[in-house]
Amino acid sequence: MPETSATRVAVIGLGAMGLPMATHLAPAFPVTVFDIDAGRRAQLAAAGAAEATTPAQAAGNADVVLLAVRDQQQVEAALFGENGAAEALNTGAVVVLTSTVGPDAARETAARLAESGARLVDAPVSGGPARAGTGDLLIVVSGDEDSLDAARPVLDRLASTLTEIGREPGDAQALKAINQLLAGVHIAAAAEAVAMARALGLDPATVIDSLSKGAAGSFMLADRGPRMIEAYGDGAEVRSRLDIFVKDMGIVAGIAKQAHVPTPLASAAQQLYLLGERAGLGGSDDSSVVTLLSPKEAQR
């Protein structure tokens, strides 16, 4: 067990990413957690963390507050809503924003926190829940040097790859948006490949295994491909909800429009995720999008 750091950490949001991140932080730091789900709080208490019943209570004694919520609406509620963390932050405390919310939202959040003397480190994460639980995440960060130094023990505990991209909140969100553009397009492409394999009477598992080893391979084909096959059975375990890509591809579309950059592939992928959400798949694993292109009953 690692020696416990003196850095006091609050984790707000114990969802698919927040829960394993908090679990991995608990042996190394004094950790206080908040989530609206009391069962998740209890799970972290069993792992050695302290429970809080409001974001303000969680943040009141923290040096670093890790936000792991779904979207900007939840960020605002956690920080600035009733019993929000911002009202209890110590002067100089650092808020680490791990959610994907877009550059403008990160900059606005940083400005509001600065009014209370707190600082924001923009640190969206990638890698999924399993890697979050082992400290193997890809994290891109931006913020001023002092804030990054204050947050670094926590970031180093969570990340195997930590990339500094700029000194202003929003810079890391911009890079994460590019990451999500690629990830969203790659999942859609993998779904088309699996759908075509089924239509041609080929074994999708053999196709995925073969192509993943060659020039056509991608992380998403190797990772989501097998889960797409599971989608035709009882459904894949939910590791990344489809509606997360509805949100993230919407962020990509907004940034592209502002920058006057055409993104036809990202736009097509966005429509596929929107169709999936409309079909009731929003809470399913994003691999389930394959069933829109090749319904379960459509195999040759």
- Active site (catalytic) residues: 176
Neighbours of 110 (CB within 10 A): 23
Q: How far apart are CA 186 and CA 209, in angstroms?
A: 16
Task: Assess contact for 149 and 126: CB atoms under 8 A.
Answer: no
CA 268 from centre of chain = 22
Dihedral through CA 72, CA 151, CA 175, CA 267, nearest 10? -30
**Coil, strand or helix at 65:** strand
User: What tokens appear for 16 in the block?
Assistant: 């698919």
With the C-alpha atoms ordered 139, 143, 144, 149, is the resulting torsion angle positive or negative?
negative
Kindly report the CA angle at 37 between 72 and 285, in degrees rounded to 5?
A: 65
Kindly report the CA angle at 137 between 134 and 139, in degrees rounded to 5?
A: 145
**Coil, strand or helix at 50:** strand
φ/ψ of 247, rounded to 5, equals -65, -50
